[in-house]
């Protein structure tokens, strides 16, 4: 599993030159350079050429870089891949993944190119079929992560918007569980009301508590909330350190458990504590 933080994953239209340049200085952990939904049909050819050039000429630092191409079944997908391959992309985000065969097809195309030997694949989980096939998709070749496409999911399911996202809960949890089982990254869907900071915070907190690694975002104004919510708090970091210290002391005494703040601490808690500290270290390194 990728050890880098994915608290914030910002969509950037591949056709917007100024946005591509501005993204080099934004406090986002990852960027989705979008050639699909964010690009008008008559702009798609120009966008893919522009993006390929900018990926090679601009420095995006340690940010994870995903390129969302158009579906391979569309008239633009194959050309997107041909052009973007020249930039040796870190990862291709494949939309409309309904089954593992979609990922396998892309993996074969990447295998045939020397310049994409290291390129990973991420999948948009945005259809009922994709949700039901999530376990197989998560273990497909080159798979590195899931992005939840909650707007498309809600549309296809015919469910209504609710602040608690109860109608979407099963569709969120199945890919989440599949990703965790396969050891890949899984990122929650977007929050559309980009000026509603309180609503964004509530949805980020819900996604964090469910186990998502971060949140996809549609506007830079959302970065601060996502980065804060999906980062370990100072209280969590302090507790993790105390748990590790207490458990190591108990182990030295020949005991299998420790007690911290009146609660039993076993080895499974130490695994979580070490993950919290590792995430905090990765975030600190990212922001240096």
Q: What is the CATH number of the domain that holds 182?
A: 3.20.20.60
Is the alpha carbon torsion for 262, 204, 26, 179 positive or negative?
A: positive
In-domain check, residue 23: yes
How are beta strands 120-125 and 91-94 bridged, if at all? parallel
Domain count, the chain: 2
The domain boundary residue, chosen from 184, 204, 229: 229
In-domain check, residue 165: yes
Residues 96 and 204 occupy one common structural domain? yes
Q: Is 43 exposed, middle or buried (0-12, 13-18, 19+ CB in 10 A)?
A: middle
pLDDT value for 3: 75
pLDDT value for 179: 98
SS3 177: helix
How many Å from the N-terminal Cα to the C-terminal Cα in the chain? Answer: 22
φ, ψ dihedrals at 68, nearest 5°: -90, 110
Q: Could you give the CA distance from residue 152 to residue 216 in angstroms, rounded to a whole number?
A: 14
What residues make up the domain containing 273?
A: 234-286
**What's the pTM value of the predicted model, to 2 decimals?**
0.95
Residues 210 and 79 occupy one common structural domain? yes
Other Cβ atoms closer than 10 A to 274: 13
pLDDT tens for each residue of the chain, 288 residues long: 567 999 999 999 999 999 999 999 999 999 999 999 999 999 999 999 999 999 999 999 999 999 999 999 999 999 999 999 999 999 999 999 999 999 999 999 999 999 999 999 999 999 999 999 999 999 999 999 999 999 999 999 999 999 999 999 999 999 999 999 999 999 999 999 999 999 999 999 999 999 999 999 999 999 999 999 999 999 999 999 999 999 999 999 999 999 999 999 999 999 999 999 999 999 998 877
Residues 152 and 169 occupy one common structural domain? yes
In-domain check, residue 2: no
pLDDT value for 2: 61
Query: Do 18 and 26 form a contact (C-beta atoms < 8 A)?
Result: no
Q: Could you give the CA distance from residue 47 to residue 35 in angstroms, rounded to a whole number?
A: 7
Residues 23 and 106 occupy one common structural domain? yes
φ, ψ dihedrals at 233, nearest 5°: -75, 165
- 3-state DSSP: the chain helix, strand, coil percent, rounded to 5? 50, 15, 30
Other Cβ atoms closer than 10 A to 138: 24
Residues 247 and 217 occupy one common structural domain? no
Residues 238 and 282 occupy one common structural domain? yes
pLDDT value for 186: 98
Residues 223 and 91 occupy one common structural domain? yes
Residues 190 and 116 occupy one common structural domain? yes
Residues 225 and 239 occupy one common structural domain? no
Longest dimension (CA), the chain: 70
């Amino acid at each position: 599993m990728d050890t880098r933080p994915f608290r914030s994953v910002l969509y950037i239209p591949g056709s917007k030159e100024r946005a591509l340049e501005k993204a080099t200085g934004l406090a986002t952990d990852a960027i989705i350079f979008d050639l699909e939904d964010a690009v008008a049909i008559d702009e798609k050819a120009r966008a893919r050429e522009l993006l390929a050039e900018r990926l090679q000429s601009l420095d995006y630092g340690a940010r994870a870089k995903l390129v969302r191409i158009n579906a391979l079944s569309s008239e633009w997908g194959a050309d997107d891949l041909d052009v973007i391959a020249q930039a040796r992309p870190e990862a291709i985000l494949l939309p409309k993944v309904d089954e593992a065969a979609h990922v396998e097809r892309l993996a074969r195309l990447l295998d045939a190119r020397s310049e994409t030997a290291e390129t990973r694949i991420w999948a948009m989980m945005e259809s009922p079929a994709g949700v039901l096939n999530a376990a197989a998709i998560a273990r497909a070749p080159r798979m590195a992560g899931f992005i939840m496409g909650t707007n498309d999911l809600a549309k296809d399911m015919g469910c209504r918007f609710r602040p608690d996202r109860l109608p979407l809960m099963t569709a969120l949890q199945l890919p989440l569980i599949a990703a965790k089982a396969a050891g890949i990254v899984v990122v929650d869907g977007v929050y559309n009301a980009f000026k509603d900071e309180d609503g964004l915070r509530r949805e980020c907190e819900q996604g964090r508590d469910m186990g998502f690694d971060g949140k996809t975002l549609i506007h830079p104004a959302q970065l601060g909330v996502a980065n804060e919510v999906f980062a370990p708090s100072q209280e969590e970091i302090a507790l993790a350190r105390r748990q590790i210290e207490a458990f190591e002391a108990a182990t030295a005494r020949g005991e299998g458990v420790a007690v911290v703040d009146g609660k039993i601490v076993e080895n499974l808690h130490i695994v979580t504590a070490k993950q919290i500290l590792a995430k905090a270290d990765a975030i600190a390194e990212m922001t240096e």
